[in-house]
């Protein structure tokens, strides 16, 4: 069964600190992995997308890593800001269908305190 597991479920950090969110997946055949940021009551917004051959990708203060051998990914947030408070969702796409089916994790709820 294709699954995406994220940890921790929730995380509280102080403004200015760094944090790392984890994602493990069993989706196969693997196509790509995305990290989305979802603010409360809003739709997800894409942060990074990585294909099989990419090990790391950055988007400002967000850096995602991918180890396709161990099927693990991480999202590192540097110098956190209050606006980083959101749910961060790991999404894995397979390449077994034209649709490019997406498998969603439950997200890590990040809260940044001043």
Partner 1 sequence: EADIYQTPRYLVIGTGKKITLECSQTMGHDKMYWYQQDPGMELHLIHYSYGVNSTEKGDLSSESTVSRIRTEHFPLTLESARPSHTSQYLCASSESRGDVNIQYFGAGTRLSVL
Residue from the set 56, 58, 100, 111 that interacts with partner 1 by CB under 8 A: 100
Alpha carbons 52 and 45: distance in angstroms, whole number: 21
Phi, psi of 37 (to 5 degrees): -110, 130
| Cβ distance to partner 1 smaller for residue 32 or 65 | 32
Strand, helix or coil for residue 103:
strand
Please report how many Cα atoms fall inside a 13 Å half-sphere around the Cα of residue 110, on the Cβ side: 29
Sequence-separated (6 or more) residues with CB below 8 Å from residue 38:
44, 45, 86, 87, 88, 89, 107
By CB under 8 A, residue 105 contacts partner 1: yes
Give the binding range for partner 1 (CB under 8 A) out of 40-48, 56-64, 66-74, 75-83: 40-48
Contact between 80 and 13 under an 8 Å Cβ cutoff? The reply is yes
Q: Per-residue x/- mask for partner 1, residues 9 to 38, rule CB under 8 A?
A: ----------------------xx------
By CB under 8 A, residue 57 contacts partner 1: no
By CB under 8 A, residue 49 contacts partner 1: yes
Q: Which residues bind partner 1 (CB under 8 A)?
A: 4, 31-32, 41-46, 49, 51, 89, 93, 95, 98-102, 104-107, 109
């Amino acid at each position: 069964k294709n699954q995406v597991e994220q940890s921790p479920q929730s995380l509280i950090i102080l403004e200015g600190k760094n944090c790392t969110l984890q994602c493990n997946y069993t989706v196969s055949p693997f196509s790509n992995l995305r990290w989305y940021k979802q603010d409360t009551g809003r739709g997800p917004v894409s942060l990074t997308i990585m294909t099989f051959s990419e090990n790391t990708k950055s988007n400002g203060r967000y850096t995602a890593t991918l180890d396709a051998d161990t099927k693990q990914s991480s999202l590192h947030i540097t110098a956190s800001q209050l606006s980083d408070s959101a749910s961060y969702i790991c999404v894995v796409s397979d390449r077994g269908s034209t649709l490019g089916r997406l498998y969603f994790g439950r997200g890590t709820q990040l809260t940044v305190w001043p």
